[in-house]
Chain A
Amino acid sequence: MRLEVGSFPVRDACFGTRMGWVDGVLEIDREAVLAAVRQDPLVSTVELEIARPGESVRIWPVRDVVEPRVKVNGPGVVYPGWFGRSIETVGRGRTHRLAGLGVPEVSSVNWHDAGGDFVDQYLDMSGPWADLIPQSALVNVCCVVEPEPALAVQTKNEVVHRATLTVADQLAAAVRDLTPPDVEVFELAPAAASLPGVVYVQCVHSPQAMSHSEHTFCTGTYGLTRLAPPWLLHPNEILDGALSGPYRTMFATSWTVVNNPVLLELYRRHGRSLRFLGVIVFRTEWTTQDEKDLMAGQAGKLAAMLGAHGAVVTWDAGGNEFIEVVHTVRACERLGIKTVFLTSEDSAEGGAPSMLKPVPEADAIVTTGFFNASLLELGRLPPVERVIGYRSKSAGDAVDATIAAGEEVATAGAIAPPWRYDDHYGFNRLSAFAY
């Protein structure tokens, strides 16, 4: 499976009369893009707005950020499986991408009506929060979209994400037939057997148990987020967006997963210092002890059958899902597979352990910080000159965990950062010292 990825760097974007990419500047025919979105009769309103790094702009709320990609040749479509998109296996041929550009998905639509999940993520384009969030360094072409109000919440979610993917498709089409300034070839070519085989176990949350939704939100595998036994994906499939979707943290957006430094670094070391064997995508939030242990055992078995000497394990959630994740680490270790675990930590306040369950086999852990953004002690983030999206936020509308029910807050003002800072894949540059 060979994939050429052609990158078109974007340093600025502007609205104009045609679609085109010239020397790092993307010109966008706004009306043409909006017309493509409005072909969906379930879209009520849609707008496009551009936010550039360094501007005094806040984008609120942000449900996803999508990197525009397009298949130039090879089977299937990028970000496959979502809401009617082709489910043909991707990862072959050539894909073009707009590097440094994101399409934030902005809408007041809640994930589901079951409660407990908050759409409280936002992007600042400058200031202390922007310094910590990788998507704040992108030229962001925001898709602000509302579905028809009478629809059920699951259908609303479909409409919103489909609109975002349509915008991304329209933007990426501008570079489909151009010659990219940079092409990287991704292929798991035969490598020396003396190199250690390494598998990447990427654990991704399933919303099924708590929201009873099979695909409302979260990182989907070909659009599916339901609880299912582990998948084996070729890393090229992930580079074509086979693992993507909206989520409640900036560290698990569609943009995040296709730019995951763990995936890319393992790939670039293939044939040099290791043999990259593939990606086990492990769906989490099973709700009995037996299911958790069964899936952990199966993930370890898959890794062993692939011939892994080593494994890297990441996850994108918190809470009880830690059990099947850390039991996967244990299962791999017990099969003789040296395993490294990347994780954010829970707050250690009051002497509590910073991980839910200590497991002796988890003896190589890389911390990427704490889940809770309040521990960064940023205080309230400074006001901004312009808001893209919604000018106020309140509980019960686009629900936000940082404010009390009934309270109405101006989003342009000084507000608390989103409460999650869960850098699952090591994007950040935070460091720590012992004293």
Chain B
Amino acid sequence: MISAIYDLALTTGASRVVRGCRIEHVCGNPDLGPEKDHEYGLTILRTALGALTTAVTGPTLFDPMESSAEVVHAS
């Protein structure tokens, strides 16, 4: 699940949560301009695809801005 409010997604038990940008534009950021926005959107998508191929044991956060997944379990 790609979510700007990732904390809520983790709490509700989604196994793989990708950190999105904002509620208004979850999978991109128009402030970056067309080229960098496209690049950023691709990074989010690749992170999501990477998450699908990663084994997890509980709700886990994947941050597109970091190379490896940050494991955060819902409290």
Contact = CB atoms under 8 A, between A and B. Distances in A.
Interface string B1-35: 00011111001100000010111100000000000
A288 interface: yes
Interface of B, secondary structure class, is loop
B24 A287 contact: yes
The dominant DSSP class at the A interface is helix
B11 A357 contact: yes
Given A209-B23, A209-B24, A289 B5 contact: yes
B24 A289 contact: no
A1 B6 CA distance: 43
A289 B21 contact: no
A323 interface: yes
Find the residue from A210, A289, A320 having the highest chain B CB count within 10 A: A289
A287 B21 CA distance: 9
A287 B65 CA distance: 18
A136 B12 CA distance: 40
Interface string A143-164: 0000000000000000000000
Given A289-B5, A289-B6, A320-B5, A358 B11 contact: yes
A92 interface: no
Given A209-B23, A209-B24, A289 B7 contact: yes
B24 A323 contact: no
Interface string A278-301: 000000000111001100000000
Contacts, number: 31
Contacts of A292: 5
A323 B23 CA distance: 13
Counting chain B residues whose Cβ lies within 8 A of the other chain, the interface size class is 10 to 19
Contact of B8 (A209, A210, A320): A320
B7 A288 contact: no
Contact of A323 (B5, B21, B22): B5
Contacts of B22: 287-288
Most B Cβ at <10 Å: residue of A209, A287, A320, A323: A287
A87 interface: no
Contacts of A357: 7-8, 11-12
A289 B4 CA distance: 6
B11 A287 contact: no
A356 interface: yes
Given A287-B4, A288-B4, A320 B11 contact: no
Interface string A355-374: 01110000000000000000
Nearest to B75: A360
Nearest to B4: A288
A293 B24 CA distance: 18
Contacts of A210: 24
Contact of B23 (A287, A293, A356, A358): A287
B10 to A, nearest CB: 10
B29 to A, nearest CB: 11
B38 to A, nearest CB: 21
B7 A320 contact: no
B43 to A, nearest CB: 17
A186 to B, nearest CB: 38
Contacts of B5: 288-289, 292, 320, 323
Interface in A203-240: 209-210
A287 B7 CA distance: 12
Interface in A256-298: 287-289, 292-293
Nearest to B11: A357
A52 B21 CA distance: 50
Contacts of A289: 4-7, 19
A320 B74 CA distance: 17
A357 B14 CA distance: 13
Interface in A275-334: 287-289, 292-293, 320, 323
Contact of A356 (B4, B8, B21): B8
A293 B5 CA distance: 10
A289 to B, nearest CB: 5
A320 B11 CA distance: 13
18 contacts: A287-B4, A287-B22, A287-B24, A288-B4, A288-B5, A288-B21, A289-B4, A289-B6, A289-B19, A292-B5, A293-B7, A320-B8, A320-B23, A323-B5, A323-B7, A323-B8, A356-B8, A358-B11
Given A289-B4, A289-B19, A323-B8, 6 more contacts: A287-B22, A288-B5, A289-B5, A320-B8, A323-B5, A357-B7
